Structure 1
Amino acid sequence: MSAGFASVDDLLASARAGLTRREPQEAYRRTLTGALVVDIRPAWQREADGEIPGSVIVERNHLEWRLHPTSGASLPLAAVGQEWIVVCTEGYTSSLAASALVSLGLPASDVVGGIHAWRAAGLPVVPGPTPVEHRVRHHP
């Protein structure tokens, strides 16, 4: 079997070609009208860099099953038509994950620059880590 892509960069470019990526401010605005941020980072990264208030924690290896409404293992928040905005540390893994969600017919995008860009934009970040498959609390 031959590789479908010559490099990881080619794989990433292909994934991003099928996405509408969101700058942090735009992603934040979309959350105000019902989009949900899904944080796919492991606990140690969320503890180091913080979490986005209101985001849903779903580590990458369970993402498709937890967000697809008919998977049989979906979260209650995984309703048909729910818009998902995937976030990782710097916006690379989130592109691959969002592309996988789009390939399943889910409305998904990712945050350009990840949590680092979100924080740099002055958007809210709270200490983590929140348990997997829970929503991050809004801290005062």
Structure 2
Amino acid sequence: MTTALTAPVSAPFVSVPLSVQANDFRAALAAGAVAVDLRDAAQHRAHGALLGAVAVASDQALDLLGPDSPVALRAATVDAEWILVSEDGYDAEWLAWHLQARGVRGARFVVGGHRALRSRGVTGSIGSDALGLYDPR
């Protein structure tokens, strides 16, 4: 079956780029964006937490970060500025694209993901000296 469209399909122009380079990550946060760590618990254990980031499971990100969802976070508005971080950047890119398509103009991803951040020394890891603060007694 062939479907014919009577008008071209278009989407509104988004003036915010879809991506952020790893070297610009800190500047984006300083400008008011919120980091969203999409990595799972095993990746957090292996490579450290991204301190200051909101941790969201990637399979729940569209619902939690999209303003049209009934389970959205309070901060999930069309004006939200999310910087999505996955391990290699690919999941974050896909999610940023879908969030922008849903109207979240400030959804962006880090090119190269957490790997690129680590290579530039932006790991957010907690040192072993600080881990003792969280030991149950």
> Is TM (by shorter chain) over 0.5?
yes
1:59 aligned residue = 57
Identity of aligned residues (%): 32
Q: Could you tell me the TM-score, scaled by structure 1's length?
A: 0.71
1:13 aligned residue = none
Q: Establish whether residue 117 from structure 1 lines up as the match of residue 112 from structure 2.
A: no
2:88 aligned residue = 90
Q: Which has the larger radius of gyration?
A: 2
Q: Distance in 1 between matches of 2:34 and 2:79?
A: 11
Q: Which amino acid aligns with 1:30?
A: A
Q: Distance in 2 between matches of 1:37 and 1:59?
A: 13
| Alignment: residue pair count | 111
Higher RCO by CA contacts (8 Å cutoff, separation 6 or greater): 1
**Which one is further off, 72-81 or 22-31?**
72-81
Q: Distance in 1 between matches of 2:54 and 2:125?
A: 13
Unmatched segments (≥5 aa) in structure 2: 2-15, 127-137
Contact 1:24-1:121 within 8 A present in 2 as well: yes
Q: Distance in 2 between matches of 1:102 and 1:80?
A: 9
1:76 aligned residue = 74
Displacement, 1:96?
0.9
Q: Distance in 1 between matches of 2:75 and 2:51?
A: 16
Across the aligned residues of Structure 1 and Structure 2, the Cα RMSD in angstroms comes to: 2.0
Deviations 1:92-117 (Å, cap 9, x if unpaired)?
11111111111111121110111111
Q: Which amino acid aligns with 1:115?
A: H
Taking the TM superposition and a 5 Å limit, the aligned residue runs for 1:118-133 are: 118-127=117-126
Q: Which amino acid aligns with 1:92?
A: Y
